[in-house]
Amino acid sequence: MMNVYEGTKETGRRKTVKRKSQLASIWTRYKKSQLAMAGLFLLILLIVIAIVAPLLANYEQDAIKQNMPIRLQSPSREHIFGTDHYGRDVFARIIFGARISLSVGLASVFISSILGVLIGSIAGYYGGKIDNLLMRLMDVLLALPSIFLAITIVAALGPGLINLLIAISISYVPRFSRIVRSSILSIKNQEFIEAARSCGTRDRRIILKHIIPNAIGPIIVEATLSIARAIIHVSSLSFLGLGIKPPMPEWGSMLAEGKSYMGSHQYLVIIPGIAIVMSVMALNLIGDGLRDALDPRLKN
């Protein structure tokens, strides 16, 4: 992270230098929190595992192919997390499940943050009727709990990876748009915006170049926390049979399948449970750390 900005420093442009120092100071503040660092470490670990999953296990052979003779084996040397009720390796399913959970989480938050920022900034910048229209629309969506909204959308579209992504993305848009709108309302009347406007800068440029960069802090925090929520929502929907279709490994559906063996083979629920808790906790710790680090009132 640091290297990148050191590199840009050499270009000597004042703007980049300034941004670098700001990011560096954020990083310095972030580093101070041990919990936040632990979260970051956990997340990086998960991401690395997700990326190198094919080196650790064979997707078709270990995570998908059923092998009844070795069903329900407790954790052992060959199967460090044991095998499930169809004789599939739980470890392989967990690491491939990490790919699904993390990528759905990241992708849905990416989509919803872009949509949300767009809607929020238009509403906040132009105000008036557009603001009213867009925000009331968002209020309608916000009135429903996001998990409930996601269930409704999945029920309408049918289960599956893409539909799940759409459902979660839509249900997260209102939060982003609200956050962006409120930051924009506080920024848009400041002098530097007035200066830009008096120079004849177009609205689009003002929003993209001047307003959003100044409102980015809360968006990043919200995005990080939203990924955590999205992971929980993907798992919950899969747990209810509305998410990922079998036989794809997904933590929530692994939990649901393991549920009926809870009395005799506890590891089938404990392991996916820990995986969900770990990833969500990591993201929450990072989110909290970022919130503190991005707080403009805190100085080094």
Partner 1 sequence: MLRKKSILTLSLLLIVAIVLAGCGGETKSSSDKRDNLIYVFDGEPQTLDCAKTSDQLAYTVVYQIHDYLIDRLPDGTLVPGLAETWEYSDDGTEITFHIRENVKFHNGDVLTAEDVAFSLNNAIGSSQTSRITSAMDSASVVDENTVLLKLKHPFGAIEYCLANAQMGIVNKKAYEEDPEAFARHPVGTGAYQFKEWKTGDSITLTAFDDYYKDKASIENIEFRIMLDSDTAVMALENGEVDFTFDIPNTAIKKVQENENLEYYVTNAASTCYVVLNNEHEILSNKKVRQAIAHAIDKEALIAGAVEGYGVPAETPISTTAFGFPADFKNREYDVEKAKELLAEAGYPDGFKIVFTATETLNFKKPGEILQDQLGAIGIELDIKDVEFSVYLDDVISGNNYEMAVTEQSTAYPDADHIYSLYHSSMIDVGRNFINVRNDQLDELLDRGRVSQDPDERIKAYEEICELWKEECFTVPTYALQTDIAANKNLKGVIPHSPSVYKIYHYSWE
Per CB under 8 A, residues contacting partner 1 are 64-66, 68, 71, 85-87, 159, 241, 245-247, 259-264
Q: 75 vs 159, which CB is nearer to partner 1?
A: 159
Q: 88 vs 188, which CB is nearer to partner 1?
A: 88
CB of 64 to partner 1, least distance (A): 8
Q: What is the DSSP string of 139-159?
A: HHHHHS-HHHHHHHHHHHH-S
The token pair that represents 281 in the structure block:
């906790």
CB of 262 to partner 1, least distance (A): 8
Amino acid symbol at 128: G
CB of 251 to partner 1, least distance (A): 17
The token pair that represents 175 in the structure block:
């939060």
Closest C-alpha among 82, 17, 3, 36 to residue 285: 36
The three-class DSSP label of residue 2 is helix
**Would you say 112 and 170 are in contact if contact means Cβ atoms under 8 Å apart?**
yes
Q: 21 vs 266, which CB is nearer to partner 1?
A: 266
Q: 225 vs 244, which CB is nearer to partner 1?
A: 244
Cβ atoms within 10 Å of 114's Cβ, excluding its own: 13
Name the DSSP class of 73.
Answer: P
Would you give the distance in Å from CA 252 to the centre of its chain? Answer: 16
CB of 282 to partner 1, least distance (A): 30
CB of 86 to partner 1, least distance (A): 5
Q: 158 vs 200, which CB is nearer to partner 1?
A: 158
**Residues pairing with 89 in the sheet:** 83
CB of 260 to partner 1, least distance (A): 4
Q: 32 vs 259, which CB is nearer to partner 1?
A: 259
Cβ atoms within 10 Å of 100's Cβ, excluding its own: 24
The token pair that represents 64 in the structure block:
């998908």
The token pair that represents 178 in the structure block:
């609200």
Name the DSSP class of 68.
Answer: G
Tell me the C-alpha distance between 89 and 85, whole Å: 10
Tell me the C-alpha distance between 227 and 54, whole Å: 24
Q: 70 vs 141, which CB is nearer to partner 1?
A: 70
CB of 136 to partner 1, least distance (A): 33
